[in-house]
Chain A
Amino acid sequence: GAGVSQSPSNKVTEKGKDVELRCDPISGHTALYWYRQSLGQGLEFLIYFQGNSAPDKSGLPSDRFSAERTGGSVSTLTIQRTQQEDSAVYLCASSLDVAPLHFGNGTRLTVT
């Protein structure tokens, strides 16, 4: 079936603007993750949704970042008042439990 789908694939925005990144997980996957990958860096955990439980938001870097998952499926990551340091690839992943994670192709965010 279809894999994890993320949109847009690329996003260029001006500093101070808000952006929304979308993730469509694999159908039936109960767990959904957001990670951030800066150029040449590792996978920084942002937030984790598991079923109907309260999300683990411990990785969100500031209160400008938020995420929601509607109906246990699609998730949106919102970054308010974007800063240049927010520029990175934002990766979404889903799984039936913890593993294996299936990653999307990511959204490359550039803040000018």
Chain B
Amino acid sequence: GENVEQHPSTLSVQEGDSAVIKCTYSDSASNYFPWYKQELGKRPQLIIDIRSNVGEKKDQRIAVTLNKTAKHFSLHITETQPEDSAVYFCAASRRSGNTGKLIFGQGTTLQVKP
């Protein structure tokens, strides 16, 4: 079945440094790749997403890259701040017709040290 692997499981960086989280997916038909941020005790919230017709997308300090050939995608956070500390989840899905099941990775706990 579909599977999404996410690494690392934990990541600790100094404030101002960059953080990179990587995911691989198994379903070659996947064409939609969102990233969610979950702060402690709160619901996951979408922070950025990318579709398979795009190789890179950026939104302020956050960027996502996609390599369809290798079936992996990455989240890049630059100039990290303490409020970036949270659990980050990648996900993959086919986005067509009635097939829209979103499969999540296991999550990365990011700690930004002030």
Instruction: List A residues at the B interface (Cβ < 8 Å).
Output: 31, 33, 35, 41-45, 48, 50-51, 53, 56, 58, 91, 95, 97-101, 103-106
In the assembled complex, how far is the CB of residue B49 from the closest CB belonging to chain A, in whole angstroms? 6
Complex CA–CA separation, A42 to B107 (angstroms) = 6
Pairwise interchain contact A43-B44, C-beta atoms closer than 8 A = yes
Question: Among the listed stretches B11-19, B52-60, B70-78, B94-102, which one makes contact with chain A, having 4 or more residues with CB under 8 Å of it?
Answer: B94-102
Closest to B103 in A: A45
Q: Give per-residue flags for B12-39: 1 if the beta carbon is below 8 A from chain A beta carbons, else 0.
A: 0000000000000000000010101000
Complex CA–CA separation, A60 to B69 (angstroms) = 31
Q: Check if B1 is an interface residue, CB within 8 A of chain A.
A: yes
Pairwise interchain contact A42-B45, C-beta atoms closer than 8 A = no
Pairwise interchain contact B100-A98, C-beta atoms closer than 8 A = yes
Q: Select one of B43, B95, B105 contacting A99, CB under 8 A.
A: B95
In the assembled complex, 23 residue pairs joining A and B whose CB atoms fall closer than 8 Å, in A order, are: A41-B107, A42-B6, A42-B89, A42-B106, A43-B104, A43-B107, A45-B101, A50-B98, A50-B100, A56-B101, A91-B43, A97-B95, A98-B102, A99-B46, A99-B49, A99-B93, A99-B102, A101-B36, A101-B46, A101-B102, A103-B43, A104-B43, A105-B42
**SS of A interface (majority):** loop
Complex CA–CA separation, A99 to B31 (angstroms) = 12
Q: Using Cβ atoms and an 8 Å threshold, which residues of chain B touch A50?
A: 98, 100
Q: Using Cβ atoms and an 8 Å threshold, which residues of chain A touch B106?
A: 41-42
Pairwise interchain contact A100-B103, C-beta atoms closer than 8 A = no
Pairwise interchain contact A33-B45, C-beta atoms closer than 8 A = no
State the 5 A-B residue pairs at the shortest beta-carbon distance, nearest first.
Answer: A98-B100, A42-B106, A43-B104, A103-B43, A100-B46
Complex CA–CA separation, A42 to B105 (angstroms) = 7
Q: Using Cβ atoms and an 8 Å threshold, which residues of chain B touch A56?
A: 101
Closest to A104 in B: B43
Q: Using Cβ atoms and an 8 Å threshold, which residues of chain B touch A33?
A: 102
